[in-house]
Amino acid sequence: MSNQDQFRQSIEEGYTFKGPSFVLGGAMLGEETLTGSLVRIPLGTLNRHGLIAGATGTGKTKTLQILAEQLSKEGVPTLLMDIKGDLSGIAVASDGHPKIDERHAAIGHPFTAGASPVELLTLSDEPGARLRATVVEFGPVLFSKMLDLNDTQSGIVAVAFKYAEENDLPLLDLKDFRKILQWLTGEGKKEIEADYGRISSASTGAIMRKIVELESQGAEQFFGETSFEVEDLTRIDELGRGMVSIIRLTDVQDKPKLFSTFMLQLLAEVYATFPEEGDLDRPKLVVFIDEAHLVFEEATDALLDQLESIIKLIRSKGVGLIFVTQNPADIPSDILGQLGLKVQHALRAFTAKDRKAIKLASENYPITEYYDVDTVLTELGTGEALVTALDRKGRPTPLVRTMLRAPESRMDVLTKSEIKSIVDSSPLVKKYNKEIDRDSAYEMLQKKMDAAAAAEHKAEMEEQKAKAKKTSSRSRRKEKSMLETIMSNTTTRQIGRTVAREFTRGLLGVLGINKRR
């Protein structure tokens, strides 16, 4: 058997699965595409997570688009992070192109244009259904890790959450949390100290500064109501296709703290909400995290630990995560080791550091006799990738250089009118874009503080009034006492008699009455 025949056989055996699968592309040996040797991806192991990596311009975004639309056709909903703004075209069928026909002829798989059902979501002012979460949904542990707090500060956060729960104070947005911290170190200080001990104002000040930092990246738009329900990510349309939910994040690259906060909350909410599923023939949801380095670069150690734990556990909920980034080194090694599907596009070797990174990347893939992986990684053309997945028994499939199929949808952005059409017809926009600002911890505590201030003012006024009355009474008593003292004095009485006598004499003289001699 020739080397090519052996290779074909290994691909046929390694990429044929009993359960549902879809075609990703055609196998290549050297520079040649072997027509009919199809590389399939099994749906049943996509909850083991994955990686799409490669230098800029090598086709990562198009690979993401292929995976999302094929999953949609198989009835699997997906969530896409559209940071560059070029994924919305999945909502419109491709216009086709001779080069697409040429590529598919080489692969040996027919090309069919098609669109996917799309829902546009947003964290900011981009068009789409608003994504929000309440502070209380984070819980004290996750909220503390998000802010990178120390043990003392985390303890204060736990007290704040506990106090809010016991006193029916809804913690919905960041101003609610700031207000409760203000209450704990102000008007409510004595009450808190009696139950939980003394709270340091220096520690609460440090927490406040962390919250201000988060707010500076737009977090006040994220925290609040109406809170997004993650079950809305798992919708299937009337044709049985999985909904492709696209979060438009074109303005979030300069807000990495907000992005990592959102990702952490989303994954935590999915994990807490979705039931245990075990091994399914296809995932309930696949989440694509584009520009994944934005999640990890700004994440604290505590946040990374939390992410790693969720990534390990969330697959039992039937959820898969696929990270998209330029270099596998962007993903922490503990998380990289959890990823079953790997689609590696070309890497560039311009510097010694680049060559070292390529050498390291090549060690992440199964050993193969058909490729010099270090060399192939620098020779891959646009739309080509090294691929390996997991079979249903959890074993890596053979590493294969793959000519990827073309996306069935438009490989470009939607126009403003097309985006408006999607947004206007969205049931989620109607559900989530009405902002609610009901009475919560901020308003309730502000009323308490106003009442306390009014009571204090009233007490001060009454005290001043009482002091004034007391002073007036004391003054009158003093005047009376002085008068009595004067009147009781012998000299004063003598002067009084003299004055009275002289007054009488003068009066008699005026009346013409002379005193007898």
Phi, psi of 172 (to 5 degrees): -105, -50
Which stretches of the chain drop beneath a pLDDT of 50? 510, 514-517
**SS3 at position 458:** helix
Residue 338 near residue 49, CB atoms below 8 Å = yes
Whole-number pLDDT of residue 516: 44
Query: CB of 387 within 8 A of CB of 39?
Result: yes
Helices (H), 274-415: 293-297, 301-314, 333-336, 352-362, 373-379
Per the CB < 8 A criterion, the answer to whether 114 and 408 are in contact is: yes
Q: In angstroms, rounded to a whole number, what is the distance separating the alpha carbons of residues 204 and 482?
A: 59
DSSP H/E element including 431: helix 427-432
Q: Which residues contact 185 (CB under 8 A, 6 or more apart)?
A: 199, 201, 204
CA atoms within 13 A on the CB side of 183: 28
Query: Which residue bears the tokens 């009346």?
Result: 511
Report which residue type is found at 380.
L
| Per-residue DSSP letter, 385 | E
What are the residues facing 341 on neighbouring strands? Answer: 50
Q: How many CA atoms lie within 13 A of 263 on its CB side?
A: 32
**Coil, strand or helix: which one is 245?**
strand
40 contacts 22 by C-beta, under 8 angstroms = yes
Interval 459-504: pLDDT, tens: 677 777 777 777 666 666 666 666 566 556 665 556 556 655 665 5
168-227 pLDDT, tens digit each:
888 888 888 888 888 888 877 888 887 777 888 888 899 999 888 888 877 778 888 888
User: What string of DSSP letters covers 187-235?
Assistant: TTHHHHHHHH----HHHHHHHHHHHHHHHTTTHHHHBSBSPPPGGGGG-
If you compute the radius of gyration of the chain from its CA atoms, what whole number of angstroms results? Answer: 39
Q: Could you give phi then psi for residue 80, rounded to 5 degrees?
A: -115, 135
Is 60:383 a contact under the CB 8 Å cutoff? no
pLDDT of residue 97: 93
Give the 3-state secondary structure of residue 496: helix
Assigned token pair, 377: 């990684």
Residue 298 and residue 260 in contact, taking contact as beta carbons nearer than 8 Å: yes
Four-point Cα dihedral 397, 398, 401, 405, nearest 10: -30
Q: Are strands 129-130 and 244-248 parallel, antiparallel or unpaired?
A: unpaired
Predicted local distance difference test score (pLDDT) of residue 43? 95
CB neighbours (10 Å) of residue 344? 29
In this structure, is the dihedral angle defined by the CA atoms of residues 467, 470, 476 and 478, taken in order, positive or negative?
A: negative
The CA distance from 276 to 314, in Å, is 9
Hey, what amino acid is at 495?
Answer: I
CATH class, range 3-132+228-432: alpha beta
Give every CB contact of residue 3 below 8 A, 6+ residues apart in sequence: 29, 370
- What DSSP state is assigned to residue 113? -
Q: What is the pLDDT of residue 517?
A: 41
d(CA 130, CA 33) in angstroms, rounded, equals 45
Cβ of 19: how many Cβ atoms within 10 Å? 14
Q: What is the predicted pLDDT for the residue at 295?
A: 74
Look at the pTM and tell me if it is higher than 0.85: no
**Can you spell out the DSSP letters for 16-51?**
--SS-EEEEEEEEETTEEEEEEEEEEEGGGGGG-EE
The structure tokens listed for 205 are 């000040």
Q: How many CA atoms lie within 13 A of 276 on its CB side?
A: 2
Instruction: Give the chain's count of helices (H) and strands (E).
Output: 19, 12
What sections of 317-440 are H helices per DSSP? Answer: 333-336, 352-362, 373-379, 416-424, 427-432
- The answer to whether 357 and 346 are in contact (CB under 8 A) is no
